[in-house]
Structure 1
Amino acid sequence: MNGVPMNDAPHLLAEDRPDFERLLDEALRDDTVLTVLRAPGAPTTDRLRDRALHDADTAAAPAATEYEHYLRLRENLRSTPPPDGPVGPSGEATAPGLLAQLSSSDGGAGLLPVLTVLTPILAWAAALVLLLLGYGLRAADPDLALGRSLLTAGWLALATGVAAMAVGIVGLILTALRDGSAAPVPAGADPDLAAELADARRDWQRALRERALPSYLAAAARAGGPDGAPGGNGLTSRALTGPDDV
């Protein structure tokens, strides 16, 4: 195994369960697991997933060494007091940049996402007013220059709203991808420690993806059993770890 007995494996913390569930869903789409699931008497994919979530500590046990290292680094990072502000090359605190000012002080969304949401709404509201006025004036006097100007401004406002919405959607997607791949790091943390933490998180995820989850899911699928009851039906730690890990 990895030098950590299954009984001594660390408990999977709640904040790490989203990573575990995401990797579990990936593992359930693996060809090897799908082949085992097609065998007679094998549980369904949903039942196998429920069993793995119920036995998360057991399923993640082969990656215990990497997980302990990740937990230790994360605790060290959280216990290290951050600097009072961004530090420049001379070691003195510098003023935060524009993006930092647009973010909330507690690491929340801040003003920038709010503007991303409000800009399309305000642009479309302005477009509606301008287009109504423009078409009204053109109906009263087709040659009136003000009507044509209002229509032009209204269509520009409408296009601005569409563009702002597209930018907002792209930003949300990029943020989701970034948050899904980056380790949770306190604001103002040491960059070197943060990079080491990110590496440790990737190592743990790799161990789950390549070593822990495939073997667990294959053993659980072969164990089968009525209704795929979690934790039972002959699915023992020996079946999960294999003869080399005992």
Structure 2
Amino acid sequence: MNNPPPLLAEDRPEYERLLAEALRDRTVLTALRAPGALTTDQLRVRALRDADTIAAAAGTEYAHYTRLRDDLRATPPVPEGTEPTAPGLLTQLRSANGGAGLFPVLTVLTPILAWVAALVLLLIGYLLRAADPELVLARSLLTAGWIALAAGVAAMAVGIIGLVLTAVRDGAGAAPAGTDPELAAELAAARREWRTALRDRGLLPYLHAGLPAVPAAPAAGGPGVRPEFSSPDFTGPGYSSPSFTSPGPDGSGDPGVPGPRPAFTTPDFTGPGYSSPSFTSPDDVP
């Protein structure tokens, strides 16, 4: 809403109750324990001072709630002398001159009379049976006494049920005169929606904004804060390939042979001292 309605004076006690609930929220209590955080009283004073600003976050729900409340109050009351639509049990049993009717009187007196009669009959019956166990009158008096006792218990049960029904019906009709049940139910639902919106969108964000940020919880499965790990530096060791060079004339540089190699010289492969025979022509042969 562009212009949310201001918080009315009659709704400020409800606002204070919601503020007390929000201050007991688990996240707020955790933030209050942080170093340098405001105290609970300081935060409450600020929230009460900025009540209109905080309530504006739930302005739509609040406008709907106040409109239904005004409609309910504007409902014309029931004329005086008119019985309610669903009167209670005592109203149904009340006589025309304002006194109690016959049924409520009987409900109260019947158990008392029945128990008195049961006590007298049982007492006389047991005394007669003690005098003569075979006396028929004694058995009849005992039977009548037990029946009277049961009737008194039943009358008391009926009276208790009547009182419970009366309390339930009178409690259901305790709303102000002229109240529309559907409108009253809608008003109750609108009030719950406004309370939820005011708490979730107004009070809690405001309280968290005035408190230090709560650090993130450690990951599950490990106590405390997890240590930071960096990837290992997998670099090659200081190693260079061996220098292989062809052996020099003196045989040095061969890593497989300890010490200097003996010097080798190329053998001199020359022809032996031989000359071809001297052949002459046949004319020279003697």
**Normalised by the size of structure 2, how large is the TM-score?**
0.42
Highest relative contact order (Cα 8 Å, sep 6+), 1 or 2? 1
Query: Which has more helix, going by share of residues?
Result: 1
| Greater gyration radius | 2
Please, what TM-score do these two structures have when normalized by structure 1? Answer: 0.47
